[in-house]
Structure 1
Amino acid sequence: MKLVLTIIVFLFSFHVVSQEKVSVNYNDISLSDVFIDLENRFNVKFSFNSDLVINQFVTFQSEDVTLEDILIAIETQINIKFRKESDRYYTVKRLPKTDLTSTQLLQEIVINEYITSGINKVSDDASISVSPKELGILPGLTEPDVLQSIQLLPGVQSPTETASGVYIRGGTPDQNLVLWDGIKMYHSGHFFGTISAFNPYITEDIRLYKNGTRAKYGNRISGVIDISSDNKLPQKLQGGLGFNMTHMDAFVKAPISESTAIIVSARRSINDIYNSETFKNLSKRVFQDTKISEGNKVFEDDQVTTTKDLFYFTDFTVKAIVKPNENNEITVSTLFTKNKLDYGFLIEEYDEASQDKLDISNHGTSLKWKHIYNPKLSHAVSGYFSSFDLGYVGSNSITDEFNDELAKENGIDDLGVSYDLNWAVKEKSSIGFGYQFSSSRVKYLLSFEDSESPEDNFSETNIDTNNNHAIYADYQYKVKDKWFFNLGLRSSYFSVLDRFFIEPRFQLETKLNSNFKFKASAERLHQAVSQVVEFNTKDFGLENQIWALSDGNLIPVLKSTQLTTGFVFNKDGWNIDIEGFYKNIKGLTSFTLGFNNEDDFFSKGKSTVLGLELLVKKRIENYRTWLSYALIDNDFKFSNINNGEAFPGNADITHQVTWSHTYEWQNFNVSLGWNWRTGIPYTMATGIMDTPDGSVIVFDDTNGARLPDYHRLDISTTYKFNISNNERWKGKLGLSILNLYNQKNILSRTYEKRQSTMDNGEVLREINKISLGITPNLVFRVEF
Structure 2
Amino acid sequence: MKRGIFIAIVSIYCLQNAYGQRVTINGTIREDGTGEHLIGANVYDRTAQRGATSNQFGFYSYTTTSTDSVDLYFSYIGFQTQRVAFAVSKDTVLHIQLIPDGLLEEVVVSALSMEQVQETTRMGSINVPIKQIKELPALMGEVDVFKVLQLLPGVQSGTEGASGLYVRGGGPDQNLVLLDGVPVYNAAHLFGFFSIFNADAINNVELIKGGFPSRYGGRLSSVIDVTMKEGNMQEFKGEGSIGIIASKLTVEGPIKKDKTSFLFSGRRTYLDLLARPIIQASSGGNESVGYYFYDLNGKINHKVNDKNRIYLSMYSGDDKAYSRFSNFYVNNNERTDYRDEFGLSWGNFITALRWNNVISSRFFSNYTFTYSKYNFDLFNEYNEQVTGVGKNESNTYSERYFSGIRDWAAKADFEYIPNPDHYVRFGSNVILHRFSPGVYASRSSRQENDLRLGADELNSTEYAVYVEDDIRLNDRLKANVGLHYSGFFTEGQHYNSLQPRIAARYLLDESTSIKASFVTMAQFIHLLTNAGLGLPTDLWVPATNQIGPQRAMQAAIGVVKNIKGFELSAEAYYKTMDGLIEYRDGATYLNLDQDWQNKVAVGEGRSYGLEMFAQRKVGRTSGWLGYTLSNTERRFDEINFGEWFPYKYDRRHDVSLAITHDWKENRDFSLVWVYGTGNAVSLPTQRYESPEFNRWGGMHRSNINFYESRNNFRNRAYHRLDLSFSWWKTKRWGERKWTLGVYNAYNRLNPFFMDIGYDRGGNRKVLQYSLFPMIPSFSYGFKF
CA apart distance, 1:182: 1.6
Is 1:92 the counterpart of 2:88? The answer is no
Q: In the alignment, which residue of structure 2 is the partner of 1:409?
A: 402
Q: In the alignment, which residue of structure 2 is the partner of 1:734?
A: 739
Three-state SS of the structure 2 residue aligned to 1:741 is coil
Matches within 5 A, 1:330-729: 330-344=310-324, 356-394=342-380, 407-447=400-440, 459-478=453-472, 482-496=476-490, 497-533=493-529, 542-553=535-546, 555-591=547-583, 602-617=600-615, 622-624=620-622, 626-666=624-664, 667-685=666-684, 686-687=686-687, 689-690=689-690, 692=692, 695=702, 697-700=704-707, 701-724=709-732, 729=734
Once the two structures are superposed, what CA deviation does each residue of 1:198-226 show, in whole Å capped at 9, x if it has no partner?
Answer: 11112101121101222222211111111
CA apart distance, 1:587: 0.8
Return the alpha-carbon distance in structure 2 between the equivalents of residues 254 and 752 of structure 1.
58
Q: In the alignment, which residue of structure 2 is the partner of 1:311?
A: 291
Return the alpha-carbon distance in structure 1 between the equivalents of residues 524 and 585 of structure 2.
16
- Give the 3 Å change call, closer, same or farther, for CA 658–427 of structure 1 in structure 2: closer
Contiguous gaps of at least 5 residues in structure 2: 1-41, 50-71, 85-93, 107-115, 329-337, 387-395, 445-450, 592-597, 695-701
CA apart distance, 1:246: 1.5
Contact 2:399 / 2:441 at 8 angstroms: preserved in 1?
yes
Contact 1:448 / 1:458 at 8 angstroms: preserved in 2?
yes
Matches within 5 A, 1:223-234: 223-231=222-230, 233-234=232-233
Return the alpha-carbon distance in structure 2 between the equivalents of residues 370 and 194 of structure 1.
36
CA apart distance, 1:170: 1.1
Q: In the alignment, which residue of structure 2 is the partner of 1:271?
A: 271
- Give the 3 Å change call, closer, same or farther, for CA 216–783 of structure 1 in structure 2: same
2:520 is aligned with what amino acid? R
CA apart distance, 1:691: 5.8
Of 130-139 and 307-316, the range deviating more from structure 2? 130-139
Q: In the alignment, which residue of structure 2 is the partner of 1:771?
A: 771
- Give the 3 Å change call, closer, same or farther, for CA 271–480 of structure 1 in structure 2: farther
Three-state SS of the structure 1 residue aligned to 2:146 is coil
Q: In the alignment, which residue of structure 1 is the partner of 2:156?
A: 157
Three-state SS of the structure 2 residue aligned to 1:187 is coil
Q: In the alignment, which residue of structure 1 is the partner of 2:126?
A: 128
Return the alpha-carbon distance in structure 2 between the equivalents of residues 621 and 248 of structure 1.
30
1:565 is aligned with what amino acid? I
Q: TM-score, normalised by structure 1?
A: 0.74
- Give the 3 Å change call, closer, same or farther, for CA 493–602 of structure 1 in structure 2: closer
Contact 2:250 / 2:263 at 8 angstroms: preserved in 1?
yes
Of 522-531 and 686-695, the range deviating more from structure 2? 686-695
Return the alpha-carbon distance in structure 2 between the equivalents of residues 616 and 466 of structure 1.
43
Return the alpha-carbon distance in structure 2 between the equivalents of residues 157 and 138 of structure 1.
17
Contact 2:621 / 2:661 at 8 angstroms: preserved in 1?
yes
Contact 2:142 / 2:246 at 8 angstroms: preserved in 1?
no
Return the alpha-carbon distance in structure 1 between the equivalents of residues 464 and 401 of structure 2.
33
Three-state SS of the structure 2 residue aligned to 1:201 is helix
- Give the 3 Å change call, closer, same or farther, for CA 689–220 of structure 1 in structure 2: farther
Once the two structures are superposed, what CA deviation does each residue of 1:103-137 show, in whole Å capped at 9, x if it has no partner?
Answer: xxx999x9xx9xx99xx969443332233246562
1:499 is aligned with what amino acid? Y
- Give the 3 Å change call, closer, same or farther, for CA 509–248 of structure 1 in structure 2: same
CA apart distance, 1:185: 0.8
Return the alpha-carbon distance in structure 2 between the equivalents of residues 481 and 162 of structure 1.
46
Return the alpha-carbon distance in structure 2 between the equivalents of residues 128 and 716 of structure 1.
23
Contact 2:438 / 2:539 at 8 angstroms: preserved in 1?
no
Contact 2:651 / 2:678 at 8 angstroms: preserved in 1?
yes
Return the alpha-carbon distance in structure 1 between the equivalents of residues 128 and 651 of structure 2.
25
- Give the 3 Å change call, closer, same or farther, for CA 393–272 of structure 1 in structure 2: closer
Of 384-393 and 564-573, the range deviating more from structure 2? 564-573
Once the two structures are superposed, what CA deviation does each residue of 1:224-253 show, in whole Å capped at 9, x if it has no partner?
Answer: 111111135420111122211111111111
Q: Compute the RMSD of aligned alpha carbons.
A: 4.4
CA apart distance, 1:518: 0.8
Return the alpha-carbon distance in structure 2 between the equivalents of residues 605 and 54 of structure 1.
49
CA apart distance, 1:193: 1.8
Return the alpha-carbon distance in structure 2 between the equivalents of residues 483 and 242 of structure 1.
48
Three-state SS of the structure 1 residue aligned to 2:233 is coil
Q: In the alignment, which residue of structure 2 is the partner of 1:31?
A: none
Of 575-584 and 131-140, the range deviating more from structure 2? 131-140
Is 1:327 the counterpart of 2:294? The answer is no
- Give the 3 Å change call, closer, same or farther, for CA 439–121 of structure 1 in structure 2: farther
Three-state SS of the structure 1 residue aligned to 2:200 is helix
CA apart distance, 1:524: 1.0
Matches within 5 A, 1:185-334: 185-231=184-230, 233-257=232-256, 258-274=258-274, 307-334=287-314
Q: In the alignment, which residue of structure 2 is the partner of 1:22?
A: none
1:516 is aligned with what amino acid? T
Return the alpha-carbon distance in structure 2 between the equivalents of residues 490 and 592 of structure 1.
33
Q: How many residues align?
A: 648
Three-state SS of the structure 1 residue aligned to 2:197 is coil
CA apart distance, 1:542: 4.8
Three-state SS of the structure 1 residue aligned to 2:217 is coil
CA apart distance, 1:152: 1.5
Q: TM-score, normalised by structure 2?
A: 0.74
- Give the 3 Å change call, closer, same or farther, for CA 567–530 of structure 1 in structure 2: same
Contact 1:247 / 1:268 at 8 angstroms: preserved in 2?
yes
Return the alpha-carbon distance in structure 1 between the equivalents of residues 326 and 749 of structure 2.
31
Once the two structures are superposed, what CA deviation does each residue of 1:425-479 show, in whole Å capped at 9, x if it has no partner?
Answer: 332013222010110100133437799xxxxx98212211111121111122136
Contact 2:738 / 2:780 at 8 angstroms: preserved in 1?
yes
Return the alpha-carbon distance in structure 2 between the equivalents of residues 199 and 693 of structure 1.
57
Q: Identity, % of aligned pairs?
A: 26
Return the alpha-carbon distance in structure 1 between the equivalents of residues 717 and 575 of structure 2.
25
Three-state SS of the structure 1 residue aligned to 2:145 is coil
Contact 1:716 / 1:736 at 8 angstroms: preserved in 2?
yes
CA apart distance, 1:306: 8.9
Return the alpha-carbon distance in structure 2 between the equivalents of residues 691 and 345 of structure 1.
42
Return the alpha-carbon distance in structure 2 between the equivalents of residues 533 and 427 of structure 1.
47
CA apart distance, 1:144: 4.4
Three-state SS of the structure 2 residue aligned to 1:215 is coil
CA apart distance, 1:484: 2.4
CA apart distance, 1:739: 0.6
Once the two structures are superposed, what CA deviation does each residue of 1:743-763 show, in whole Å capped at 9, x if it has no partner?
Answer: 11112235699xxxx9xxxx9
CA apart distance, 1:489: 0.7
Return the alpha-carbon distance in structure 2 between the equivalents of residues 732 and 593 of structure 1.
51
Q: In the alignment, which residue of structure 1 is the partner of 2:59?
A: none
1:512 is aligned with what amino acid? L
Return the alpha-carbon distance in structure 1 between the equivalents of residues 653 and 545 of structure 2.
35
Contact 1:682 / 1:706 at 8 angstroms: preserved in 2?
yes
- Give the 3 Å change call, closer, same or farther, for CA 618–526 of structure 1 in structure 2: closer
Contact 2:211 / 2:503 at 8 angstroms: preserved in 1?
yes
Larger radius of gyration: 2
Match of 1:748 among 734, 749, 753: 753
Is 1:147 the counterpart of 2:157? The answer is no
Return the alpha-carbon distance in structure 2 between the equivalents of residues 424 and 541 of structure 1.
42
